[in-house]
Amino acid sequence: MKGAPRMINELLAFVLEVVALGLLARWGWGAVEPTPLRLLLAVAVPGAAAALWGLFAAPKARIRVPLPGVLAVKALVFGAAALALADLGHGTAGVVFAVVAAGNTALATVDRRAAGRLG
Return the closest-CA partner of residue 80 out of 107, 44, 49. Answer: 49
Task: Indicate the average pLDDT of the chain.
Answer: 94
Each residue's pLDDT tens digit, 86-116: 999 999 999 999 999 999 999 999 988 877 6
- pLDDT value for 3: 84
- Provide the whole-model pTM: 0.91
